[in-house]
Structure formats: C-alpha cells, structure tokens
C-alpha cells in the first residue's frame, strides 16, 4: 500500500486530479490518499497558501501528486511551487516531452527529457536595488548543485535506457558560473562511458531543438535555461496540455502537470487531463509500479490516437472525466 499526499490544486486542478485518481485506482495499485490543500483554497480555509498540515503530510508520505496552484499577487510567496521545492530540497525538475499520435504537432519523432536544476541559479532570488536606477540579481552556481543534477541526469539515462546526455550552458560568456557547470558535467560524464555526452550553448540548443529535435535525448542544465527550454520542448509536442513534470529530491518527490490552473475553465469539466495522468504515470514509475504505469500509458496513447473520447483541445468533445473513463475502459476495466 502506497500512502500518497494528494493536493487537488486550484482552478481546473480538482477536475483533472479526480480524473487522474480514477485512472490510478483502476490500475489496481493500492493507494491510500491523504488529501490536503495549498494555494488559493488553502488561503481561504487556513489564511496561508501553504498550511503546516500540508507540509507535514508531504513530510510523512514523501510522495505527493499535485494539481496546478494559483499564487495570488501580493500574498507573500513568490510561488507556492518554489516554496515546496525549497522546503523539501527538490533539486531535480524532470520534464519529459514526447509526441503522441493524435496530438497536433509539426513533429512526429520527439522523445526528449529535460533535467533542470531546481534550487540555484538566478531563481535563488538573491536580488536587490542598487540605488534608484539599477537592479542586481545574483546568479548562484555551486559545485554541490552541479554535481547532483548532472549525476541525476546520467543515472536517469542509465536507468531508462537512454543513449545520450547533453549539457546546456552559456560558458562562453559566463565563464565562472556556467563554466563551473560545464567543467563538472564533463568530469561526471567520464564516469559513465556507456552514455554519449556532449554540450551545447543554450541559444544554439534552442535552434537545434527546433530544427532537429530527434538528435537529442536527455538534456541537463541550470535552472533558468531549464525553465525556458522545457517550455520550448513542450511546444514541440503539442503544448503544455501533454507536458508532465516531477520535482525530485533525495527522499521526497512531488509530481504535477506543467500547465497552470486556468481558473476561467474551473468547474466546466472540459480540461485536458493528459498532463496530470502522465505525471501520475511518472509517480508510479518512481514507486516501482512499472507494470501499472505501462498499462496506463499505453491506454492513454490509444485513446489519444483514436481521437473519439478526448477533450476539445485534442479535437474531441469529451469531458475531463469521460476521457478518464475511456482510458479506464481501454485498460480493460469498467469505469466506476
């Protein structure tokens, strides 16, 4: 029995989370859900975006499935997601991007994984005004941060049978910070002779991904580049609606779709649950439930390919839960 923290989220979050939960439960994996809140719902109920009860639940269970959250302007946190990453030192952001037959895209053979460092770089938030007319932000890159994210990328490549790791940087200009990242990437690559290694300057990497994404496999990079390139990769495969994500630390992991909470669509039961379900599939793999993860993923691919029971953004007319029920049926189950 896996005990998992479930954060339904804001906006469309509760609907797509319910869809993912139904699919997971139909897979046969034994899960005990501990439902807690964060974001706007938490602010209404507890007066804070991130209640202690929610943090304690994640601390106990070490695994969470989370819907998208809204961070209201002027409410303290820059981002609830950033706060969670810092609280549990979730240093690795894992974002796969792959094409699915039936999802509109200019490409047909993309299968990339972005491994983004999650705690350092300009996102450390060390910035201040210099007088009235200038602002300064400090880019922090440490040996520890570089070593653990690059090693994570190589270990992931070995475990998942991937062929190549590409380190993305701007060391030609930022010779100290990105230079350190590249130096450490090369050192660690030497420990994994079975995995091909190369590096690319970040601006060239963007062009390469648009022109010939099929040449790349696992991409590892500092925080800011990872934020940008992971969205670029999502654009290659049809958008954020099919973009899952995971934030992983030494002993804790939070799985969530990349897209936002889309509050104007809340309660309409029309949001695409694909990214949420794919995030749940990633969670199952993390938990060692490979067979169930494979069955859900295959059923999802077949439903999208057929195009009959998908949401409006995928060209269909199904509701969020109707798409989930179609996936459950494709798995050989009857929707409850």
Q: Residue 169: which H helix or E strand, with range? A: strand 164-169
Q: Is 107 assigned a catalytic role?
A: no
Phi–psi pair at 97, nearest 5 degrees: -140, 115
Q: Is 123 assigned a catalytic role?
A: yes
Torsion of CA 15, 47, 65, 244, to 10 degrees: 70
Q: Is 231 assigned a catalytic role?
A: no
d(CA 214, CA 94): 19
Residues paired with residue 32 on neighbouring β-strands, in sequence order: 3
Say if strands 2-7 and 63-66 run parallel, antiparallel, or are unpaired. parallel
What is the length of the chain? 336
d(CA 249, CA 88): 7
Give yes or no for a contact between 48 and 107, defined as CB atoms under 8 angstroms apart.
no
Say if strands 196-201 and 164-169 run parallel, antiparallel, or are unpaired. parallel
CA angle 240, 245, 247 (to 5 degrees): 145
CA angle 158, 88, 45 (to 5 degrees): 130
Q: Token pair for residue 127?
A: 């910035």
Task: Name the active-site residue from 203, 212, 305, 308.
Answer: 203
Helix-helix angle 274-286:320-330, to 10 degrees:
50
Strand order in the sheet with 196-201: 31-35, 2-7, 63-66, 253-257, 244-248, 92-98, 111-117, 218-221, 164-169, 196-201
Q: Is 203 assigned a catalytic role?
A: yes
Task: Name the active-site residue from 41, 170, 178, 225.
Answer: 170
Task: Name the active-site residue from 91, 123, 156, 225.
Answer: 123
Residues labelled as active-site residues: 123, 170, 203, 227
């Amino acid at each position: 029995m896996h005990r998992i923290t479930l954060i339904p989220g804001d906006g469309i979050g509760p609907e797509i989370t319910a869809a993912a939960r139904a699919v997971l439960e139909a897979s046969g994996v034994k899960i005990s859900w501990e439902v807690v809140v964060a974001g706007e719902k938490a602010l209404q109920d507890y007066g804070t975006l991130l209640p202690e009860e929610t943090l304690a639940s994640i601390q106990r269970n070490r695994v969470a499935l989370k819907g998208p959250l809204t961070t209201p302007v002027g409410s303290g946190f820059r981002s609830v997601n950033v706060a969670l990453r810092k609280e549990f030192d979730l240093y690795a952001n894992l974002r796969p991007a792959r094409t699915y037959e039936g999802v509109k895209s200019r490409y047909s053979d993309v299968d990339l994984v972005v491994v983004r460092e999650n705690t350092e770089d300009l996102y450390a938030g060390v910035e201040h005004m210099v007088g009235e007319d200038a602002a300064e932000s400090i880019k922090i890159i440490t040996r520890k941060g570089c070593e653990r994210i690059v090693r994570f990328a190589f270990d992931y490549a070995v475990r998942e049978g991937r062929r190549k790791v590409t380190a993305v940087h701007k060391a030609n200009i930022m010779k100290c910070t990105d230079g350190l990242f590249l130096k450490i990437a090369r050192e660690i690559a030497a420990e994994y002779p079975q995995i091909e290694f190369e590096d690319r300057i970040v601006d060239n990497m963007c062009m390469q991904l648009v022109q010939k994404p099929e040449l790349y496999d696992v991409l590892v990079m500092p925080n800011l580049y990872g934020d940008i390139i992971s969205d670029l990769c999502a654009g290659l495969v049809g958008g954020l609606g099919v973009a899952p994500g995971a934030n992983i630390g030494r002993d804790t992991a939070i799985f969530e779709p990349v897209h936002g909470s889309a509050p104007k669509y809340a309660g309409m039961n029309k949001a695409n649950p694909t990214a949420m379900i794919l995030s749940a599939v990633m969670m199952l793999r993390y938990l060692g439930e490979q067979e169930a993860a494979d069955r859900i993923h295959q059923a999802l691919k077949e439903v999208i390919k057929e195009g009959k029971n998908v949401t409006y953004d995928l060209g269909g007319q199904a509701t969020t839960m109707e798409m989930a029920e179609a996936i459950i049926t494709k798995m050989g189950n009857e929707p409850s």
